[in-house]
Amino acid sequence: MRGEPAKDTKRAIESAGGKAMFEVLDVASETEFDQVVGRVRDELGGIDVLINNAGVATAGTVEDSPLDQWQFVFNINFFGCVRGARAVIPVMKAQGGGHIVNIASFAGIANPPALASYNAAKAAVISLSETLRLELDGDHIGVTVACPSFFKTNLLETSRELAGPDAETAAPQMEKITDHRMSSAKITADDVAADIFDAVQRNRFLAITHPDAKQRYHLKRLAPELFFKAARKATAGFLKKS
């Protein structure tokens, strides 16, 4: 969908003396994953790190979200990670190791209301990552799952493009809240990338960049009922219709 930024990255890598490839990949296609992984392996000699980063945003309660919305977000956010992992695991095993990074979200841990299908897909990515970590540990393949909170990205814009004009993927109130929190976030995309880089270097499983999200993560683990009361108060506006 967004080839120019990827081409800019390719040019930046090459100007710094590196070697880069640019390939269009539909993460909903297992065949395309296999083809691209094969080309990368053949041209670059292997795959040290896979970052499953494709994602879309959806909003709505469990009651209000149609099933095709659930299928839409799971096909990209969750099954995209499954397809990516399945494509690279044989290559990484053959070369003696590697690292898989799955981009989830803190929404997969905290599960705010009115983001039902998005929460569930991101929670599934976290579960998938834990499973992969155990399955691949003996093959020297590390796994990291990134769970950032709000920071400025083009997630909402690309979600609208993918869904098309006739498919509502976000309720207006939720989109407004999400856009505001993303725009006002102090954590940047560079901060998130740096934390993921550190996690791969240290073979750290969980990457939660935002300090407040780390606090909420520990609160939920240690005092789940207290976390629920705090979350209910903090997210009351999420359920407003307009």
Average confidence (pLDDT) over 4-15: 88
CA pair distance 43, 47, nearest whole angstrom: 10
| pLDDT at site 42 | 93
| pLDDT at site 238 | 81
* Proportion of the chain in helix, strand, coil states, percent, rounded to 5: 60, 10, 30
For 197, counting Cβ atoms within 10 Å of its Cβ (0-12 exposed, 13-18 middle, 19+ buried), the class is middle
Give residue-wise pLDDT tens across range 135-156. Answer: 999 999 999 999 998 645 555 4
Nearest to 28 by CA among 92, 91, 88, 71: 71
CATH number at residue 92: 3.40.50.720
pLDDT at 75 over 70: yes
| pLDDT at site 170 | 47
More confident residue, 50 or 158: 50
**pTM of the predicted protein model:** 0.86
Which residues have CB under 8 Å from 132's CB, separation 6+? 85, 100, 102, 141, 143
Q: Please indicate whether residue 118 is annotated as part of the active site.
A: yes
| pLDDT at site 171 | 54
pLDDT at 100 over 90: yes
Sign, Cα dihedral of 91, 93, 97, 103: positive
Long-range contacts of 61-68 (CB under 8 A, 24+ apart): 61/113, 61/114, 61/116, 61/239, 62/116, 64/171, 65/116, 65/117, 68/167
CA angle 38, 124, 217 (to 5 degrees): 120
Domain span holding position 145 = 3-239
Q: How many domains does the chain have?
A: 1
Average confidence (pLDDT) over 112-130: 96
pLDDT at 174 over 70: no
Active site residue: 70, 118, 151, 217, which one? 118
Sheet holding 49-52, edge to edge: 49-52, 98-103, 141-146, 206-207
| pLDDT at site 4 | 77
| pLDDT at site 89 | 98
